[in-house]
Amino acid sequence: MKSHLMISAALLFGFTIAGNAQGTDPKELIGLIKQNLATSMQNLKNYEWLETITVTKDGEVKSNKQSQCYYSVDNKLMKVPIGNAQEAKSPGGIRGKVAANKKASMKDYVEQCVAKIQEYLPPSGEKLQSLYATGKTTLAVLKPNELFKINFSDYLQAGDAMAVSIDQEKKLLTEINVNTYVDGPEDKIAFKITYAQLPDGTQYAKQTVLDMPAKKLKIVIANDGYKKGAGK
């Protein structure tokens, strides 16, 4: 969550570009967004919540695990597993060995994809500035004077794309989308973070989805059950 909220600073340049394009007051708008995200990051340290990670292949659930999350007194994100993680059972004998090898290969691929996505988050302010200078930044108005999306092409490698959606009226970050690839353009993966708000206005990553179509894999990370902690 911390890394997700850290993007506010990196997005300042790109957001200024979009604000100017719409004739808004970017300085005031940026200040409000930055303040909101900074406050939310600080507020989340007073919460504990439930994280559920589900891995599916061909639409079939392969693993599902839950963790209780909270920040320690030294501001480290702690995750305590709840119960036993559920994983699909492998057959015995030779079939079991083949299945185990496939499972290990799948795990390696998933880790490779996650590592690739981590190269995009948080975005680099210098990189966003460079993309704008070379004409690779565009603005899509989703709802006039309310919702818009900032698009960045060739962010990390040729042919990739990053899009950041913002609720201009509420001054909130709503979504981040990344479309990229691992070994080549044919090995595409997509990463999406959807944000939501708690009653006190605190923003959090409600759902994170990583799609790996080449392997027919999907990982969904859901965060819910937020409640004020006891100052762990």
Q: pLDDT (tens digit, 9 = 90+) per residue, 110-163?
A: 888 878 877 877 667 667 667 777 878 777 778 888 888 878 899 899 999 988
DSSP state of 6: T
Residue 30: the pLDDT is 42
| DSSP letters spanning 69-126 | EEE-TTS-EEEEEEEEEEEPPPPSHHHHHHHHHHHHHHHHHHHHHHHHHHTTSSPPHH
CB 156 within 8 Å of CB 38 = no
Q: pLDDT (tens digit, 9 = 90+) per residue, 206-226?
A: 998 999 998 899 989 899 999
Which among 89, 118, 86, 114 has a CA at the least distance from the CA of 103?
A: 89
Looking at residue 198, its amino acid is L
Domain count, the chain: 1
Under 8 Å CB-to-CB from 101, ≥6 apart: which residues? none
CB 194 within 8 Å of CB 187 = no
Domain of residue 175, residue span: 2-228
Q: pLDDT (tens digit, 9 = 90+) per residue, 12-43?
A: 333 333 444 445 443 454 455 556 667 887 89
Rounded to an integer, the average pLDDT of 179-208 is 89
Model confidence at 85: pLDDT above 70? no
